[in-house]
Amino acid sequence: MKHTRRELLGLLATLPVLEAFRPRVARAQSAAPLRFVGIFAPNGVVPSLWKPATYGRDVALPLSLRPLAPVLAHTSILSNTRLGPTDGMNSHGGGQTCFLTASDTFVGATSLDQAIGQLTEAQVRLPTLNLSIENNGYYWPSQIVPDSAGIYTAPNGEDRQDRCQDSESCRVSVSSGTTQANFYHPQVVFERLFGAASGGGGASGPSAAALKEAARRRRVVDLLKGHAAALRPRVSSQDQLRIEEYLSGVRQIERELDALTAPVSSSPAASCDRSTPVTGIPVDRDRYVHLLCELIARGFQCDATRSVTLMLGQGVSPMNFTVGGVAYSHHGDASHHGHDPARREAKGTIDAWQVGVYAHLVQRLADTADADGTPLIDRSAVFYGSDIADSEAHNAVDMPVLLGGRLGGALNPGGHVDGKNQTAGDLFVRIHQAFGATSNTFGRFGTRPMEGV
């Protein structure tokens, strides 16, 4: 059978795990691994309820930042930072695109989490992990029927799928222009991190659903390899290079499939916890997001991954929150508060919940020891930000940014810091270099390593 170049590239475009296509970059790292988390909190903030009145380590925390009190020693509150060079990037979609790319488009872009994944992929099971608690605009993908323990599991498995319809609102991670799918289901996250469970109940393999999906992906991989072999002698040398580039991604997928079905080896740390999480999604939102934070901490402790993103809602999130007995849609009712005091206060309270998730994860990393006993937070950077700054004004200057962790000494956290009009991209340069990158730029808007952090 003859195969055209268009047919092969069409097959490559349909591969269900295109997020695994990334350059095979492996660089040496120090014996003490570093970690990165990017937390996306949608819809901006109310500046008067967010920004402390003074700079320094001893500051009064406004409403939205009060959850930081227990972890302020691990956290810098960055003010006077921006997304891009001007105030022109004042839309939810534009800000979300720029969130980890420091660019104004996903086309050709690579986000910070993916860039770090490329530097660390030779040392870990899973180079990157992308998580979200909101699937295609809604907190639940369908009508929920929880069990008596408050756990929701869709009988047809739809709670395991990424239902994103618009990458500019559903995703923040991108590799060479290809947006990366999020994962929502704790069991799926566990299987990607560890492949098999080991705990008090003994060893068990991946779930039947995971093995079925792995088999399907292997069939697609085999088909692609066969088509490529048949096509390679019939195309130009330039096209052969392009085919080889894609096949390097196919080989990465094969490695992930091998890892999924292979037995889990002995843990790198005696305290590494590979016990199985709940098999569904907790109905309680706090319990749900805390479980994902727990899996992030376990993944770092067991050195299964070193780069994670966590979306606390997609762009223009309609997720509902009850404040003072009143239900508010995050975007429609609270974010666009129209300066109504009750709605503005509700937005500040919603932001406090999101900051609370950040604080919970930072505290969890502070309480979790690395293989040599060092708290994980000392070797981590936890970046927290949004798509816009002022939720009512829709601007992109003086962005709400939190930065947690010491990243092996590359960062010096604590208190309220003046970003002096530097960009988030400048911060990404600083973080990227800590992982071994040599470039002094990142994306379009990161032009130098950020100072003062």
Q: List phi, psi (to 5°) of 323.
A: -125, 120
All residues at 6 or more sequence positions from 236 whose CB lies less than 8 Å from its CB, including other chains: none
pLDDT in tens, 180-223: 999 999 998 998 998 754 333 333 445 566 566 667 767 777 77
Nearest C-alpha neighbor of 132 from the set 164, 102, 154, 175: 164
Question: What pLDDT sits at residue 301?
Answer: 94
Amino acid at 322: T
Q: How far apart are CA 415 and CA 417, in angstroms?
A: 6
Asked if 72 contacts 402 with a C-beta cutoff of 8 angstroms, the reply is no
From 30-34, 285-289, 399-403, the region with the lowest mean pLDDT: 30-34
Higher pLDDT, 135 or 422: 422
Angle (CA) 245-248-249 rounded to 5° is 95
pLDDT mean across residues, the chain? 83
Q: Structure tokens of 430?
A: 């600083």
pLDDT at 202: 31
Q: Which two tokens stand for residue 257?
A: 């499939």
Which tokens belong to 193? 């991190």
What is the rounded distance in angstroms from the CA atom of residue 162 to the CA atom of residue 214? 16
3-state secondary structure at position 233: helix
Strands 281-282 and 326-329: unpaired
Q: Which residue has the tokens 């099971």?
A: 125
| Band of residue 277 on the pLDDT scale cut at 50, 70, 90 | confident
pLDDT at 276: 78
In the chain the domains, ranked by start, together with CATH numbers, are 37-203+274-434 (3.40.720)
The string of pLDDT tens digits covering residues 130-184 is 999 988 655 554 456 788 888 888 777 777 888 888 888 899 999 999 999 999 9
